[in-house]
Amino acid sequence: MEEERLSNMEKEVLIALRDRGGEASPEELVEKGMEMVKVMNASSWLQSKGLVKIREGIEKSYSLTKEGEKFLKEGLPEKNLLSELMKGKKSFEELGEGESVGIAVGWLKRKGWCEIEKIEGKKFLVITDKGKKAAGEKSAEEEVLKAIKEKKEGLDEKVLQMLKRRGAIKEKERIVRTIYLTEKGKKVVDKGIEIKDEIVQLTPEIIKSREWEKKDFRKYDVRAFAPAIYPGKHHPMMQLIKKIRNIFVEMGFKEIQGNYVESCFWDMDVLFIPQDHPARDMQDTFYCKNPSGMEVDKKLLDIVAEIHETGGKTNSKGWGYKFSKEESKRVLLRTHTTVNTIRYLIQHPEPPAKIFSIGKVFRRENIDATHLPEFYQVEGIVYEEKANFRELIGVLKEFYRKMGFEKIRFRPAYFPYTEPSMEIEVEWNGKWMELGGSGIFRPEVTEPFGIKEPVLAWGLGLERMAMMILELYDIRELYFSDIEWLRKLPLL
């Protein structure tokens, strides 16, 4: 029976609603000796069981501000000036200056109570017929101000909004609720409801005292609504980073970190990116004003300068321009995390090495559905004897397979510091999406520093991968503070 699944408080609410003709406000039920919190809690449960419904509305109330009290006591500025104009037109010199005069003239003009005439080079304020009529009557604003003072209702909404804009009144809103019986609720009440002492929750004390032998147990309703409980958890981006970290560690990689602020030398020059490359333009890269320069190891600087100019001893012709060492010292926010891996290689030139890094990079991108100026990049290298392109494809395939992507393809690409190079694409919603670039470091990048074996390298975008895993169509959604979305999102 429905009654057997009701708490005593729910029964009390149903009986109180029946006694008041089937509906009442929470405040009216509180007047019958119930507590507001218990009334609302019981009503919510009754609503989930289909026995009552709760109707909500907004009720507005108004009160006078200090300005409104002043208007009521001394009169509206325009009405006071109107009284003066009834004695005859006034020049603006006679009216004087001041904020109150300007406000009064403005409202007189707006209401059509006066006109401005120019006589012999002077401006005069002249009352109109409409103004003469208004001078002998109470204005709508005055009537409403008086009514608010007397706490009357049913006031003209247009006038109320005008007074609100003038700062004469304050508006206050409150939610008004009405609880009423549904047809199902009426049937339950009509059958008769008995309020009795029963055990709702079994405790050790009740068991020890054997009180349970003398009382009835309220039946447990497994169909009753229960609010969802959301445990605390990491942001999905942090979950994804942790998952990627675990995958690379399982594959035998070691993680390294780096700095956000770097010199052009480490971010660009060491990677054989020419100094006139478009990526170095102000519209593509964030340069720092303070500090504007950063010292670079002179020996390394000389080696890189020679590589850019002539190719050094790498059988390369270089870029064939005059390398600027001052340009190398400029400071920027790193544009990729490859800066971490190349520094590691130079400091550890002996193979083998399998390393990765996950970190933020910065580029001057316009924010839209697929681009952000600040985003995460996943960087990695494999440095060992006889490393080859086939191994690079295998490593990346295995990584994306562990991330849950089955359909993966590679296509040729160009990057200044790898040759051969390729882009990685995965299938998403029936389309192929590019997630990053990869390749083998060029001799110009590795040989000058004693790195003799092939270095397999890749840089992957994290946010785009997150979009696919979380089924998002706008990259910005990853960083909106939508608590409801974050709560309901399953663990990755």
Rounded CA separation 423/413 (Å): 6
E strand segments, 210-277 = 216-217, 254-255, 261-263
Mean pLDDT along residues 275-301:
87
Q: Is the pLDDT of residue 116 over 90?
A: no
Rounded CA separation 110/132 (Å): 15
Mean pLDDT along residues 249-255:
95
pLDDT digits (tens, 9 = 90+) for 349-374: 999 999 999 999 999 888 888 888 99
Q: Is the pLDDT of residue 324 over 90?
A: yes
Q: What is the pLDDT of residue 224?
A: 66
Q: What is the pLDDT of residue 31?
A: 79
Name the fold adopted by 238-260+334-488: BirA Bifunctional Protein; domain 2 (3.30.930)
pLDDT digits (tens, 9 = 90+) for 452-487: 899 999 999 899 889 888 888 888 888 887 888 888
Mean pLDDT along residues 81-94:
80
Q: What is the pLDDT of residue 119?
A: 80
Mean pLDDT along residues 285-305:
91
pLDDT digits (tens, 9 = 90+) for 397-455: 999 999 988 889 999 999 888 999 999 998 877 788 888 899 999 999 999 999 989 99
- Are the folds of 64-166 and 238-260+334-488 the same? no
% residues pLDDT > 70 (the chain): 97
Q: What is the pLDDT of residue 120?
A: 76
Q: What is the pLDDT of residue 97?
A: 66
Q: Which H helix or E strand runs over 117? A: strand 114-119
Q: What is the pLDDT of residue 345?
A: 93
Question: Does 1.10.10.10 match the CATH number of domain 2-59+175-217?
Answer: yes
What residue spans define the domains of the chain?
2-59+175-217, 64-166, 238-260+334-488
Region of poorest pLDDT, from 150-154, 196-200, 228-232, 447-451: 196-200
Name the fold adopted by 64-166: Arc Repressor Mutant, subunit A (1.10.10)
Q: What is the pLDDT of residue 2?
A: 57
pLDDT digits (tens, 9 = 90+) for 20-63: 888 899 888 887 778 888 889 889 889 988 899 999 988 888 89
Tokens of 62: 């108004």
DSSP lists the bridge partners of residue 99 as: none
Nearest residue to 58 via CA among 217, 176, 204: 176
Burial 134-166 (b: 16+ CB within 10 A, else e): beeeebebbebbebbeeeeeebeeebbebbeeb
Going by the DSSP 8-state scheme, the letter that residue 329 receives in this structure is T
**Cis, bond preceding 291 (omega within 30 deg of 0):** yes
The amino acid that residue 230 corresponds to is Y
Mean pLDDT along residues 139-155:
87
**Cis, bond preceding 420 (omega within 30 deg of 0):** yes
% residues pLDDT > 90 (the chain): 39
Cα-atom radius of gyration of the chain, to the nearest Å?
Answer: 39
